[in-house]
Amino acid sequence: MPADLALVMPVYNESGCVARVVDSWRGSLGNLGISFRMIVLDDGSTDDTAAQLEQFRSDQAIEIIHQTNIGHGPTILRGYGRAVNLAEWVFQCDSDDEISPRFFPTFWQRRGQYDTVLGIRERDKRSAGRRIISGVARLTVRFFFAPGVRDVNVPYRLTRASLLRDLVAQIPPDTFAPNVIISGALARAGLPILQIPVHCEGRRTGSPSIAKLKLWKSAVISFRQTLACRPTLQKGKQ
């Protein structure tokens, strides 16, 4: 019997906070009284992240995956591919502690008649460059898919596994920003989407995995991939 929820958490060089973040999510989900599985994917970290994660190895609710570095987006897709076969709902969050687990109970309680529940980052303390790129991604989805999703690449999202399974099968595994494409496909299908504000507190430990110049180059790649990949869903499919 599938679990209620599978959480996907990509990790890269977060030794300063990853143990605390994983433990916080483990406790928050446990307090909800639901069956869940956490899938924590270490994407070839070069710091002490792998050692920090080993303390959770014996926890049956947490699956630790170590892999060679393939990038944030491909790691998310790998996690999704695992998660959709484990639970009825899939939630993705990052490991940098920018968005607290305290918002998740509202997501879970209000999922009701929705196919996905997305966060909208408020008090966004990311760099200006990252906010600009998010804005461009939002406009891309609006013009080439459909309007309606305000924060298309937010790393705080709850989606029905049945829908996510179909989408992941249509997205190339090397996609840089799969959540942008997924947001666009959900909006274009006219599926019911609930969007809830969440506070993005900004990075307090570590550093972004992408340097400034590489970030802009990656944004161009993401734009091209988003235009080239148009996964489809049937409206109302669950």
89-139 pLDDT per residue, tens: 999 999 998 999 999 999 999 999 999 999 999 866 555 556 656 666 666
* Count of CB atoms situated within 10 Å of the CB of 16: 19
Composition of the chain by helix, strand, coil, percent to 5:
40, 20, 40
CA-based R_g, the chain, Å: 17
Token representation of residue 155: 């790393």
Q: In the prediction, which pLDDT does 213 show?
A: 46
The one-letter amino acid at 84: V
Instruction: Categorize the per-residue pLDDT at 205 as very low, low, confident or very high, splitting at 50, 70 and 90.
Output: low
Q: In the prediction, which pLDDT does 221 show?
A: 75
* Count of CB atoms situated within 10 Å of the CB of 113: 7
Q: What is the mean pLDDT of the chain?
A: 88
pLDDT surpasses 80 at 41: yes
pLDDT surpasses 50 at 188: yes
Token representation of residue 65: 């995956």
Q: In the prediction, which pLDDT does 195 show?
A: 97
Instruction: Categorize the per-residue pLDDT at 148 as very low, low, confident or very high, splitting at 50, 70 and 90.
Output: confident
Q: Where are the alpha helices (DSSP H) in 32-177?
A: 49-53, 72-83, 104-110, 128-144, 161-168
Q: Which pTM was predicted?
A: 0.89
Q: What is the pLDDT of residues 212-236, one digit of tens each?
A: 446 667 667 777 877 778 898 865 4
Instruction: Categorize the per-residue pLDDT at 49 as very low, low, confident or very high, splitting at 50, 70 and 90.
Output: very high
* Protein fold of 3-228: Spore Coat Polysaccharide Biosynthesis Protein SpsA; Chain A (3.90.550)
The one-letter amino acid at 230: R
pLDDT surpasses 80 at 155: yes
The residues with which 37 forms a beta bridge, in sequence order, are: 6
Q: In the prediction, which pLDDT does 224 show?
A: 81
Q: In the prediction, which pLDDT does 135 show?
A: 62
The residues with which 11 forms a beta bridge, in sequence order, are: 42
Strands 87-93 and 116-122: unpaired
pLDDT surpasses 50 at 50: yes
Q: In the prediction, which pLDDT does 227 show?
A: 75
